[in-house]
Chain A
Amino acid sequence: MAKPVLLVEDELFVALDVQMTVEDAGLSVDGPYGSLAEALDAMERQPPGFYLCAILDVRLRDGEVFPAADRLAQAGVPIIFHSGHADRQGLEDRYPGALVCAKPCAPRTLRARLDDVIQAAG
């Protein structure tokens, strides 16, 4: 059984879209979580290595996603940032190896990133 993908996205339509994209890839989704609090809460319940990867929006309703991202990075979970305003350079500096997809992002692009992650995990 493949590991689920953690999805944190406060915009539900976007979250739905991403979720469908992930599920089309044959993967399951944990989430989507609309707030940082919900995301952290979900992560509390799971062991660190539980996720195959994480797709994270940066700006959430209750703040930025970085506390969650830090923990994921610490646990070695690959991260794909899916954000409309984050600056790519800042994120790549802070999380080496993280991938960044600028919102709005074509489903194909996101799918390619996801494939990269699976490939890397596989």
Chain B
Amino acid sequence: MTGKAAFPVVGIGASAGGLEALRDMLSPVRGATGMAFVIVQHLDPNHESMLAQLLDRHTALEVLQCEGGERLEPDRVYIIPPGHGLAIRDGVLELTDFAQPRGLRRPIDDFFQSLAIDRQADAACVILSGTGADGTTGLRAVKENGGVCVVQQPETARYDGMPVSAVGTGLVDYVRPPGEIIACLTSFFARRTGHPLEREATVVADHVDDLCRVLRQAVGHDFSGYKRSTLIRRVERRMHVLGIDSGRGYLTRIRSDADECEALFRDLLINVTRFFRDGELFEVLRAEAIVPLLAGREPGEDVRVWIPGCSSGEEAYTIAMLFAEAAREAGEPTAVQIFATDIDEQMLAIAREGTYPVAALADIPAGLRERYTVPHGERFTMTTAIRDLIRFSNHSLVKDPPFSRIDLVSCRNLLIYFDDRLQQTVLPLLHYAIRPGGFLFLGPSESVGRFEHLFPPIDRHARLFARSPGAPSYPIDLPGGLRQAAPRRDRAERDGAGALPEDQAAMRRLVDRYAPASMVLDQDGAILAAHGRLSRYFDFPVSRTGGSSAITLARPGLRDVIGPLLRQARDGRRRVVARDVEVANEFGVQPVEVVCDPLGDGTLLFVFRDAGPFRPADDPDAVDLAEGDDHLEALEDELRLTRHRLRSAVEELETANEELKSSNEEMMSMNEELQSTNEELSTVNDELKTKVDQLTVANADLRNFFESTDLAVVVVDADLRIRNYTAAATAIFPLQPVDRGRPLTDVASGLDDGDYVADARAVAAGAPATQRRVTSRDGTRTFALRTLPYRLQNGRTDGATLVLTDFTDALALERQLADERERLGLAIRAGGIGVWEYCPDSGQTVLDGAEQALFGVEGVPEMPVDGLLARVDPEDRTRVEEALRIAERGEADFEASFRVLTPDGETRWIKGFGRTIAGAAPRRMVGVSIDVTPEYAVAETRELMLREMNHRVKNLFAIIGGMVSTAARSHDDVRTFADDMRERIAALGRAHALASPTGEQQAIALADLVAATIAPYRDHAGIVVAGPDVRIDRKCLSSLALMLHEWATNSVKYGALAEGSEGRLDVTWRRDGDGVVLDWVERGGGAPDGERGAGGHGFGTLLVDTSARQLGATVTRAAQDDRFTLALRLPETVLANG
């Protein structure tokens, strides 16, 4: 408690489930607490701890992960780093290395212990959720040093192992839910400030005696012999816990509250014990005491061991195991009886059960552990063999009669709680209890003090002492009994307790009245007891200036004797008698005999027996004698004075020594809990670790998502307060980081209506997810708003998530696409375009309706390509296959025109285009087919027609050429020749006009031909043209036309058609067998028949004959009266077929 700032330091121990508890505990903090917090957790050394970040979010306090060397400051939270322990020294945090392997470390205990020592009453420890029992030992240390202990209410802890274990000690001041712990600590420390320790101490010290009295009446145990400082400290602590600030108030409370008595009692009995505490000292015990005891035991007798203040039994079991092991090694039966006693019934119950946390196993050497313990999961039990060696009983070393004939007393760390006076009475008691040759085993900071003559040390370091030989002297004055003012309520229960005072009275009467005067001195001559009439031999002054030294008080004469007697008897340890001693007083001389009898316990009994009658004083003698006596007396005086000074010095030294020892003991007792068992950490909180890992990753993912997504997301809680949002959402809602927690309704929005709020409210209230389309206020953007329930892990709905997807562009695109598709579809339909898809690897094709129709495979949307190729005209097939192969390889697009033979016998011209889709897997070719049959037909016809026309024209030229050549030979007059030729060419022209220009029509109606030929002469005469429908082959057209023209010309020149003639012409025809017979009949013609006949030898006749020959026709002429007949018989070949 040097100059460091005095603010409380709260050590917080947590393990599995601790994060939740820590959060609950630290989150209510508002403003300054004036306390520093140090969190110690069980952490995986290989894993970075996220605790600092996780906690920082939930508390107003500054949270730091400790790096070592930090000076503690108030209102900060320090967190243990992974892989290290934590200790505090002079207000500075230090990292420590673990001595134990993983799984056996108890960082919470370790830290609490250092905290307790460093901060004393400024220390507070808090134990939160966790498995195992870490922290339980540490809290004892904190409590022992005056700190306060708070434990999380086990029902609120996820893992209640640590809290339950801590509560089980009965030392916990407060049990609170995590959220109330800080408030509890704050008020505890607030009560304490303003009451400086010293003042408080005096206030309490004034009432300690009263408190002890109350306690003795209530629980039957007297603590007045306990160290004052410890008592005061612990009482004060109780007062802080209860919020009582005056000693008187506490006294009142304790008088009326039996529970508080019990609590104080328990607090006073804080003690720490563990298996093999100070293991090397037990090794000394084993070698020096246990083995010899077993070896030297009388057959049939048990070795008796007494362990007062056994607490929860660990020490008793330790010694039992040592005995059992030694006996086993020696091959002897374990003939040991161990009495383990304590006044705390609660501790005894634990001890009797013999069940301890598995963590404590680490303290037991491996060999013994296997042999004498039985593990049961989290705990282990001592074997029955060991338990049967020990008897646990409620017994007070202070107030109850001791055991006797004990071979070994192990009384460790008990005397340190006793004040000097009580220690002085207990040690002789132990001397009584132990039989000669037995052993006393004390704690490392305890000693036998002034009773070294009773207990000479065997091993000073190990605090192992032998009982000095000599008869046991029963210390009659039981320390507790003599000081007792009022009879204790349990006094009568003790055997023989009522008879003792009467014996004593008799003895005293006997000694006082009937025995020679006697006196018990210690080895320095101090009077311990006096009996009988001693005034004759001693001069008891009114003032006690001479002290209690028998030598000083002895009358002259006796004074010289007592010193030598004392020394001789003490050193020789036998009775010494001084005879003829003359004791002088004011009235005369009394001869006496002085016997000095050394008693066993180092004191000496002096007995004074009168050896003769009293002789009155003789004055003259007296002068001489007085002178001589005076000289001796002066020397004696001087010696006595010197001795007195020496003694004072020695006593002062001893006192100082005692004080030193006492403070050392006190220190050691405070250290108790530091050295105490480290509760083994049994469960490392893997679950939390994993969860934190996942959470961290998920959090990072989420953060990245929130920052990077284009999706506008707003998350609201059940009250429609904004919990989170993405960066994209700020385009719609102008959100700022400070808006988190604001109601959604308060936030402006860029949407044109507020329906989204209603949606969010409904969904947060449990309605299913909804979707709606919303538009921005300016109408330019369209969003899909999906409102989804925000579900917690347990499936409960706790708010809503609003997801806004901007699909303005998508919408426009979709519309555009639909238009495009419709146009395309229309075009394809209008063009009768078939669409196909071909997968070269599988050889399969997919055809649409139009394509199916083109190939004549309606209703077969998918078919192998071979099936399609089979329909292709064999002449084109190879070409198509080749084009497909080239396109498959991607060398060129597919383009081919080919004929398809449809099932109904049609030939169809198809033009196909296709292209392999780049990068598609499997390879795919898509293409279209167009029916080009009409185009092909037209082209074909055109070509045919052209050829035909060409031929015809050439033919006509040839015919005309031929006619010109031939006619030229029979004409002399060029004009006539030219006219005739012009007429003939015109006739040919008219005839050919009948032939269809397309060339398709190969047949010309005979009626038309006749009509066309004689058309120029229609008005010349009555012309009758009649006959059945006969069609003439086009090839015969020219010949027939020329023939008819010649006839008509002749008729105009000479016959019925001549100008001015009244003749008439009948042209009729009829079928005659296979052929046709045409009759040309003229009546009333002008020219005589003879003339016409002559004309037959001109070019016209040649023309007609040649034409007839050409046609294979025969012409018969006949003339009779005015009737001129030409009969033309046309063979079948002239007629057009069909």
- Interface 9-mer from B11-19, B83-91, B807-815, B951-959: B951-959
CA–CA, A15 and B959, complex, Å: 9
Do A17 and B1110 form a contact, CB below 8 Å, given A84-B954, A103-B954? no
Contact A104 B1106 (CB under 8 A): no
Do A34 and B958 form a contact, CB below 8 Å, given A16-B965, A61-B1035, A84-B951? Answer: no
- The residue that A16 contacts in the complex, of B950, B955, B966, B1039, with Cβ under 8 A, is B966
A12 adjacent to B954 (CB under 8 Å):
no
Smallest CB–CB gap between A73 and chain B, Å?
Answer: 24
Bound state CA distance, A104 and B965, in angstroms?
12
Q: Is B962 an interface residue (CB 8 A)?
A: yes
**Which residues of chain B come closer than 8 Å to A21, judged between CB atoms?**
965
In angstroms, how far is the closest chain B Cβ from the Cβ of A110? 11
A59 to B951, CA, bound (A): 10
Chain B residues 943 to 995 lying within 8 A of chain A, measured CB to CB, are 947, 950-951, 954-955, 957-959, 961-963, 965-966, 969
Q: Shortest Cβ distance from A84 into chain B, in angstroms? A: 3
Whether A15 pairs with B947 at a CB distance below 8 angstroms is no
Inter-subunit contact B1110/A14 (CB<8 Å): no
List of A residues within 8 angstroms of B1102 by Cβ:
16
Point out the residues of chain A lying under 8 angstroms from B1106, CB to CB: 12-13, 16
Decide if B958 touches A14 in the complex (CB within 8 Å). yes
Taking a contact as CB atoms closer than 8 A, the residue among A14, A34, A59, A85 that contacts B962 in the complex is: A14
Asked if A11 is an interface residue, CB under 8 A from chain B, the answer is yes
Q: Which of A10, A61, A104 contacts B961 (CB 8 A)?
A: A104
Cβ contacts under 8 Å, B509 to chain A: none
Which of A14, A59, A61 is B959 in contact with, Cβ under 8 Å?
A14
Name A104's closest neighbour in chain B (CB-CB). Answer: B957
Chain A residues numbered 1-56 whose CB sits less than 8 Å from any CB in chain B: 10-18, 20-21, 34
Is A107 part of the contact surface with B, judged by Cβ < 8 Å? yes
Q: Are B1110 and A34 in contact (CB under 8 A)?
A: yes
Q: Which of A13, A61, A84 has the most CB of B within 10 A?
A: A13
* B1035 neighbours in A (Cβ, 8 Å): 61
Q: Which chain A residues lie closer than 8 Å to B958 at the CB level?
A: 11, 13-14, 17, 84, 103-104
Give, as a whole number of angstroms, the nearest-CB distance from A97 to chain B: 25
Q: Does B821 contact A (CB under 8 A)?
A: no
The answer, yes or no, to whether B631 is at the interface (CB within 8 Å) is: no
In angstroms, Cα B964 to Cα A20, docked, is: 12
A11 touches B951 (CB 8 A): no
B1109 within 8 A of A: yes
Closest to A20 in B: B965
Closest to B968 in A: A20
B1107 adjacent to chain A (CB < 8 Å)? yes
With a cutoff of 8 Å between Cβ atoms, the chain B residues found around residue A84 in the complex are 950-951, 954-955, 958
Query: With A84-B958, A104-B954, A104-B957 as given contacts, are A12 and B1110 in contact (CB-CB < 8 Å)?
Result: yes
Q: How far is the CB of A37 from chain B (nearest CB, A)?
A: 12
In the complex, how many angstroms separate the beta carbon of B10 from the nearest chain A beta carbon?
118
Interface residues of B in 1026-1044 (CB under 8 A from A): 1035, 1039
Q: Interface residues of B toward A: which range? A: 20 to 34
Residues of A with C-beta under 8 A to B1107: 12
Report B920-961 residues with CB < 8 Å from chain A CB.
947, 950-951, 954-955, 957-959, 961
The answer on a CB contact under 8 Å between A13 and B951 is no
Contact of A20 among B966, B1039, B1103 (CB under 8 A): B966
A109 to B581, CA, bound (A): 205
**Roughly how many angstroms separate A13 CA and B1109 CA in the complex, as a whole number?**
11
- A17:B955 contact, CB within 8 angstroms: no
Residues of chain A from 76 to 122 with CB closer than 8 A to chain B in the complex = 84-85, 103-104, 107
CB distance from A36 to the nearest CB of B (A): 14
Contact present for A20 and B957 (CB under 8 Å): no
A92–B219 Cα gap in the complex (Å)?
Answer: 150
Please name all residues of chain B whose beta carbon is closer than 8 Å to the beta carbon of A85 when the two chains form the complex: 947, 950-951, 954
Q: Which residue of chain A lies nearest to B948 when distances are taken between CB atoms in the complex?
A: A85
Smallest beta-carbon distance B1054→chain A, Å: 24
Q: Which A residue sits closest to B1109, measured CB to CB?
A: A12
Q: What CA separation (Å) do A61 and B1033 show in the bound complex?
A: 12
Q: Does A13 lie within 8 Å of B966, measured CB to CB? A: yes
Bound Cα distance from A12 to B969, whole angstroms? 16
Produce 1/0 per residue, B1108-1131, CB < 8 A to A: 011000000000000000000000
B1108 CB → nearest A CB, Å = 9
For chain B residues 214-250, which have a beta carbon within 8 Å of chain A? Answer: none
**Are A107 and B965 in contact (CB-based, < 8 A)?**
yes
- Taken together as a complex, chains A and B put the C-alpha atoms of A104 and B950 apart, in Å, by 11
The answer for the CA separation of A8 and B951 in the assembled complex, in Å, is 18
Chain B residues contacting A103 (CB-CB under 8 Å) are 954-955, 957-958
Residue of B nearest to A34 (CB): B1110
**Cα separation A105 to B1106 with both chains bound (whole Å):** 20
- Which residues of chain A are near B965, meaning CB under 8 Å? 16-17, 20-21, 107
Q: Which residues of A contact B947 (CB under 8 A)?
A: 85
Which residue of chain A lies nearest to B1042 when distances are taken between CB atoms in the complex?
A: A13
Q: Are B962 and A16 in contact (CB under 8 A)?
A: yes
Cβ A17 vs Cβ B961 within 8 A = yes
Give, as a whole number of angstroms, the nearest-CB distance from A104 to chain B: 4
Complex Cα spacing A103 to B955, Å? 8
- The complex places the Cα of A12 from the Cα of B1039 at a distance, in Å, of 9
Which residue of chain A is the closest to B947 with respect to CB atoms? Answer: A85
Interchain nearest-CB distance for A59 vs B (Å): 8
A10 vs chain B, min Cβ distance (A): 8
Q: Which residue of A lies closest to B951 (CB)?
A: A85
Residues of A participating in the B interface, judged by any CB pair closer than 8 Å? 10-18, 20-21, 34, 59, 61, 84-85, 103-104, 107
Given contacts A16-B1106, A104-B954, 4 further A-B contacts (CB under 8 A): A11-B1110, A20-B965, A84-B958, A104-B958
The 10 A-B pairs at the shortest CB distance, nearest first, are namely: A13-B962, A84-B954, A17-B962, A104-B957, A17-B965, A12-B1110, A12-B1106, A14-B962, A14-B958, A104-B958
Enumerate 8 A-B pairs (CB-CB under 8 Å) in ascending A order.
Answer: A12-B1039, A13-B1103, A14-B959, A14-B961, A16-B1106, A34-B1110, A59-B951, A61-B1035
